[in-house]
Amino acid sequence: MYLVSACLLGLRTRFDGKKLIDSGPLIIPLNKIIPFCPEQLGGLSTPRFPAEIVNGCGEDVLEGRAHVINSKGENLTETFIRGARESLYLACLYKAEGIYLKDGSPSCGSCFIYDGTFSGRRQPGRGVTAALFRLEGIPVYNEADLFKQ
Ligand code: SF4
């Protein structure tokens, strides 16, 4: 089994409630996929205000050196960590072989995240859930690996 960011499968879990564009056929059969959204599992509603990691990346959040803040200035660090842990629980429950994640998200980013200024600037790094899975030794893949070319 594989966990897949729900928004990559067309579910409207994104912060703005919008559906992502269909990226084509999947490389994994649907019966081997568990859709999940760490931000919803952490307790956030949809739609919600956008959030970014301030002063670091997912690993820094897990180690208490950085925070997740939304565009209203609310500190959502604990909520994001809870969502990452719930996602890990799900992966362990199903003995998931790996996880496919939507890049850029403060939870799911695996190659890049935004820099915490809400100005659209990217920086290399992982989101909180991607960082936790990597630390736990579960293979983390990017959305580019999920769809047939
Ligand atoms: Fe949820 Fe991750 Fe998709 Fe954001 S990128 S909507 S946290 S599954």
Q: Is 37 in the pocket of ligand 1 (CB under 6 A)?
A: yes
Beta bridge partners of 101: 142
Q: Is 6 in the pocket of ligand 1 (CB under 6 A)?
A: yes
Task: In whole angstroms, give the CA distance from residue 46 to residue 54.
Answer: 22
Of all protein residues, the one whose alpha carbon is nearest to atom 4 of ligand 1 is: 14
Average per-residue pLDDT for the chain: 97
Q: How many structural domains does the chain have?
A: 1
Q: What's the CA-to-centroid distance between 17 and ligand 1, angstroms?
A: 11
Instruction: Check residue 8 and give its pLDDT.
Output: 97
pTM for this predicted structure: 0.97
DSSP string, 60-114: HHHTTS-EEEETT--B-HHHHHHHHHHHHHHHHHTT-SEEEE-TB-TTT-SSEEE
Instruction: Check residue 5 and give its pLDDT.
Output: 98
Find the domain containing 36 and state its range. 2-145
Instruction: Check residue 116 and give its pLDDT.
Output: 98
